[in-house]
């Protein structure tokens, strides 16, 4: 049996993916992969996702230069979520979020409102002008 057959794909042929920084344990982002994206990620050792908005494969860093080097691929107990242990490349500290922040999870609930608690490390206008 092909290792990809072990994944429980949703009705659209996708699986949710969490990218976690290998060194710090920070959760960097959440995205989706289809079968081809997961196979390419394993083959290349760099994260390739499925962009639902663009309806195409998305090699993380293709525009920004902020690639994700993949150290481990894991699945959860139900085989319906993938965890990538990555090193975020292209900027120090690594930028995973399109807002120019280290993590996409930069807002925290405080006093009944979502507050940005992580700084912008690089202006997104500069990142995506490539």
- The CATH number of residue 85's host domain is 3.10.20.810
- pLDDT higher than 90, residue 86: yes
> Token pair of 62, please?
């293709």
Average pLDDT over residues 22-42: 97
Task: Please name every residue paired with 70 in a beta bridge, in sequence order, or none if there are none.
Answer: 86
Q: Which ranges of 45-86 would DSSP assign to H, the alpha helix?
A: none
Instruction: Specify the length of the chain in residues.
Output: 130
Distance of CA 114 to the CA centre of its chain: 22
- pLDDT higher than 80, residue 128: no
Number of domains the chain is built from? 1
Domain that holds residue 45: 3-127
pTM of the model: 0.90
- Chain segment 91-121, per-residue pLDDT in tens: 777 899 999 999 999 999 999 999 999 999 9
């Amino acid at each position: 049996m092909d290792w990809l057959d072990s994944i429980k794909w949703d009705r659209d042929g996708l699986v949710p993916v969490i990218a976690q920084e290998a060194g710090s344990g920070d959760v960097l982002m959440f995205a989706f992969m289809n079968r081809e994206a997961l196979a390419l990620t394993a083959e290349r050792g760099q994260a390739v996702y499925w962009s639902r908005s663009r309806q195409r494969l998305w090699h993380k860093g293709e525009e920004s230069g902020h690639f994700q080097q993949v150290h481990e691929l894991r699945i959860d107990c139900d085989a319906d979520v993938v965890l990538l242990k990555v090193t975020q490349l292209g900027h120090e500290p690594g930028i995973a979020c399109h807002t120019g922040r280290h993590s996409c999870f930069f807002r925290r609930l405080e006093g009944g409102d979502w507050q940005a608690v992580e700084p912008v490390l690089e202006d997104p206008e500069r990142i995506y002008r490539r």
